[in-house]
Amino acid sequence: MTDPTTLEKRIRRRIIGPPQLFFAATAPGLEALCAAELADLIPGAQLQPLAGGVSFQARLDDGFRALLMLRTANRVLMRIARFQATHFRQLEKALSAVPWELYLAQETPVAVRATARKSRLHHSDAIAQRLTDAVADRRRAVVFAPLAPAVPPRPQRIFVRADHDRFTVSLDASGDLLHKRGLKIDVGPAPLRETLAAAILQQVGYTGDTALLDPMCGAGTFLLEAAMRACRIPAGWYRDFAFTGWPAFRPRRWAYLRRTVETAVRRPAPAPILGFDQDPTACRRVEAALAKGGLGDSVTIQCGDFFNLDPVHLGLPPGLVVINPPYGKRLGAAPESRVLFARVVDRLVRWYPGWKLALIAPPGAEHLAPPPLTPRRLPHGGLNLVLFTGTLPR
Ligand SMILES: C[S@@+](CC[C@H](N)C(=O)[O-])C[C@H]1O[C@@H](n2cnc3c(N)ncnc32)[C@H](O)[C@@H]1O
């Protein structure tokens, strides 16, 4: 069937030209923040916050820009087919009608993830196999574009979801999950997800124009997120995406988009960003990640004990202190967590008057911090942590 020129025209007419439907998947509770980010990035885009993410319509270039910029999304999918199927013949027919050559290069292997809920076809492995077969059949029947020489042939993840016999097929545009910013070399124990750190900074209104201090910085997640935000560096600046292997990907347009975004970058960060940790290995790890991103002149790392730290001696005017102490898993089961939490709050109240605060507390600690700090739930990796925010009284 189709020759390369016709294929190119179809890709332009069907994929690059018209708006596509995307879904930005988020951690539970981050949907509204992600929708706010998208509304900012793609003014006028049709957005629909749903449980677990935000559905949005955008041209392909805007979808790619969203992937580059979004700080709170875990991944972005592009919807490519929706249909109803109650038996396998119907599923095979619908999958063989998908013009796979518009979405996949010739050499790209597919990695299918199928899920089924309240559907007559509920065997997810069999559903996935039907999709893999449909792609292979199509590859035998029509011309697919070759992969661009610079792009390694890595598997393209395809999601197929059945819900009440309604099927949705989506391409993962992200590749690695988006919290992987491409800077950390070694994460160390108990790191915070970058998407969650970004959401916390967004919630407390951090723009980079005031000082930020993380006195128990661990792998430096808050510091790296703060530095990127303060320098206006996109969340995905240092990493790669699956969509660069799509036949509709245009390297020159992408390079232009990156150049445009780069004009907004300001280095170093306009206000101090400081990290402390008592563990020298953690400090070296953060320094290495900062150096990798060229962020060393925006963030200062010092090895030291939070309980000996005096922000006045650092010459800092009150800014934002973000802190994620090393708690045990459950407050009730770990009395030392309660003691640590009380000591941290006491130190903050005495030594940080006038500072804004974002303090992560263990599950069940809602009632343990003094007013005016307000608690909110913070789902993270199966734990219901608590985030206290507010301004410490002068
Ligand atoms: C839960 S981890 C922080 C994780 C960090 N938010 C991240 O994303 O990687 C807690 C960190 O606090 C540090 N820490 C514990 N007690 C400390 C103290 N008294 N002073 C400074 N750092 C401390 C530990 O070394 C550890 O790296």
Summarize the confidence of residues 207-229 as an average pLDDT. 97
Atom of ligand 1 nearest to the CA of 307: 19
Structure confidence by residue, pLDDT tens digits, 79-101: 999 999 999 999 999 999 999 99
Summarize the confidence of residues 202-213 as an average pLDDT. 96
In this structure, the number of other CB atoms found within 10 A of the CB of residue 240 comes to 15
Res 329 pLDDT > 60? no
At 339 the pLDDT is: 85
At 180 the pLDDT is: 96
Res 381 pLDDT > 70? no
Chain mean pLDDT for the chain = 93
Summarize the confidence of residues 68-72 as an average pLDDT. 98
259, 250, 22: which is closest to 151 by C-alpha? 250
- Distance (angstroms) between ligand 1 centre and the Cα of 343 equals 14
- Distance (angstroms) between ligand 1 centre and the Cα of 367 equals 23
Atom of ligand 1 nearest to the CA of 197: 8
Q: Does the beta carbon of 244 lie inside 6 Å of ligand 1?
A: no
Atom of ligand 1 nearest to the CA of 305: 20
In degrees, rounded to 5, the angle at the alpha carbon of residue 19 between the alpha carbons of residues 67 and 173 is: 30
User: How many Cα atoms occupy the beta-carbon half-sphere of 387 within 13 Å?
Assistant: 21
- Nearest CA residue ID for atom 13, ligand 1: 216
Summarize the confidence of residues 190-215 as an average pLDDT. 94
- Nearest CA residue ID for atom 26, ligand 1: 218
At 299 the pLDDT is: 98
Q: Which residue has the higher pLDDT, 124 or 339?
A: 124
- Distance (angstroms) between ligand 1 centre and the Cα of 277 equals 6
For the chain, what percent of residues have pLDDT higher than 70?
Answer: 96
Structure confidence by residue, pLDDT tens digits, 252-286: 999 999 999 999 999 999 999 999 999 999 999 99
CATH (residue range 194-231+266-391): 3.40.50.150
- Distance (angstroms) between ligand 1 centre and the Cα of 327 equals 10
Specify whether the CB–CB gap between 388 and 372 falls below 8 A: no
**Pair of tokens at residue 83:** 């249909």
Q: Does the beta carbon of 277 lie inside 6 Å of ligand 1?
A: yes
At 314 the pLDDT is: 86
Name the residue type at position 16. I
For the chain, what percent of residues have pLDDT higher than 90?
Answer: 81
At 184 the pLDDT is: 87
- Distance (angstroms) between ligand 1 centre and the Cα of 270 equals 25
CA distance 197 to 222: 6
Question: Rounded to the nearest 10 degrees, what angle do helices 221-230 and 280-292 cross at?
Answer: 30
Res 70 pLDDT > 70? yes
Domain layout of the chain by residue ranges? 4-172, 194-231+266-391
- Nearest CA residue ID for atom 25, ligand 1: 279
Q: Does the beta carbon of 219 lie inside 6 Å of ligand 1?
A: yes
Name the residue type at position 339. V
Summarize the confidence of residues 161-169 as an average pLDDT. 98
Q: Does the beta carbon of 342 lie inside 6 Å of ligand 1?
A: no
Res 237 pLDDT > 60? yes
Q: Does the beta carbon of 324 lie inside 6 Å of ligand 1?
A: yes
| Residue 334's pLDDT band (cuts 50, 70, 90) | low
Q: Does the beta carbon of 192 lie inside 6 Å of ligand 1?
A: yes
- Distance (angstroms) between ligand 1 centre and the Cα of 236 equals 25
Residue with the two structure tokens 């925010």: 389
Residue 54, SS3 per DSSP: strand
**Pair of tokens at residue 360:** 């992560």
Q: Which helix (DSSP H) or strand (DSSP E) does residue 58 occupy?
A: strand 53-58
From the number of C-beta atoms within 10 Å of its C-beta (0-12, 13-18, 19+), residue 52 rates as: middle
Q: Does the beta carbon of 279 lie inside 6 Å of ligand 1?
A: yes
Q: Does the beta carbon of 108 lie inside 6 Å of ligand 1?
A: no
Res 231 pLDDT > 80? yes
CATH (residue range 4-172): 3.30.2130.30
